[in-house]
Amino acid sequence: MYSYFLFLLILIPFMALSAWASAKVNSTYAKYDRVPNHSNMTGYDTAVRLLRKNGVHDITVNRVAGRLTDHYHPAKKQVNLSQSTYGSASVASVAVAAHEIGHVMQKQKGYVPYKLRTALVPAVNIGSRLALPLILIGILLDVFLYATGSMAGQIVMYVGIGLYSLSTLFMLVTLPVEFNASRRAKKMLVSEGILTREELDGASKVLSAAAMTYVASMLISLVYFLRMLFIVLANTRRR
């Protein structure tokens, strides 16, 4: 019981950080979405221009539903911009669009953390669905098989925690990928004259606010991983 309250005591501040980060990115985007950029380029214009300038001609730029649902889909060779970004000629919209092109350039240039994150996606998709059930099944098996001396329950628990660790690793790798994409975005926006140095300050605030959501997610994932690891190790010691 004490360990659970300790877990909550650690988790609650990170949950609060996550809520703050989410609110911050929305408010910052809304603020700079009301600030037009001097080049009058929309998110779509920005994405297409940066792709062509960097010699990329096999990526399409599409509009998707929602707000801040922007993402790059490498398998489909698509940069998908949200409705709030696609047709807006604001400082915020071009910053977000350029960030997605930053991901395209990471793939084009063979940026190692991006390649690692991409490689982890299939395993994380499986692990996120199976990890917790396997840990719970392992604990139950360990209880039922304790009298026989079987290691089956512990093995299942270790597999579960291993799968869960992939999700935490994915979040850790995501941080340098996102920060690097933002650095690339800001450099391209200035070099192409899409934003002035003064406007870049607003774009930086939008991208920094977005990055904080990834930091918060990583911290929460790490706390949950340590909690699951503690449960598995405690069960092993009791055995």
**What's the token pair of residue 114?**
């991006």
- CA 209/CA 202 separation, integer angstroms: 11
- Catalytic residue ranges: 100
Between 229 and 146, name the one with better pLDDT: 229
Cβ proximity of 206 and 96 under 8 Å: yes
pLDDT attached to residue 230: 78
**What's the token pair of residue 18?**
């996550």
Tell me: pLDDT of 89 over 70. yes
**What's the token pair of residue 173?**
């790798």
**What's the token pair of residue 124?**
């994380």
pLDDT tens readout for residues 167-199: 888 889 999 999 999 999 999 999 999 999 999
pLDDT tens readout for residues 98-154: 999 999 999 999 999 999 999 988 767 665 565 556 556 555 555 554 544 556 666
pLDDT attached to residue 146: 53
Domain limits, the chain: 2-238
Lowest mean pLDDT among 4-8, 45-49, 133-137, 153-157: 133-137
Tell me: pLDDT of 44 over 90. yes
pTM listed for this prediction: 0.84
Q: Which residues contact 132 (CB under 8 A, 6 or more apart)?
A: 160, 164, 228
